[in-house]
Amino acid sequence: MKRLYTPEKMAQWKKRARVSGGAVCALMAAALAACVYLCAQVRTGNAGRMLRYVIGLFTLSGWVSIVLLRFCYRPAQAEYRHMAGILAGETEEHAGTVAWLPGAFSIPKSITIRKAILTKEDGETETLNVDVRLADTMPPSGAAVRLETVRKYITAYEVQHE
């Protein structure tokens, strides 16, 4: 069975979130220190120029921080929290034929998922989810699989060969 979630991957996402969060804090602290330094250098003749420097520096650092938060810290933190919840959850086993639905959607303040329909041997269907980052590793639509899930998220799979 191929496992999609491991404690090692969870630790990597935790480290990535911690590093990117620290980078944002360091950037803002450095920008504040630079602005304080520039403000201490103001004289009557250079006040207008120093004001433009301070405004430009803090605006630029603010936008860079927003980009880091949006595209590095928050996704890493969401992946870490998701993995921690999945690894702590109770697993269930399923078997059947998997069919992938087109597209993916983002859960607010969490991960982006892709839906799958599992058709069991008795004809019953069940809707399951997979993290979109892991969807490329999954077997194609129509494959006979055995799955492990936690809270309707696919955590492990094995392709059944008949």
pLDDT tens profile 121-133: 888 999 999 999 9
- What pLDDT was estimated at residue 123? 87
Low-confidence stretches of the chain (pLDDT < 50) are: none
- What pLDDT was estimated at residue 134? 93
pLDDT tens profile 42-54: 999 999 999 999 9
CA distance 79 to 100: 22
Closest CA to 112 of 134, 132, 140, 85: 132
CA distance 26 to 39: 20
CB atoms closer than 10 angstroms to residue 131 = 22
On whether the CB atoms of residues 90 and 150 are closer than 8 A, the answer is: yes
CA distance 4 to 138: 9
CA distance 138 to 103: 15
- What pLDDT was estimated at residue 82? 95
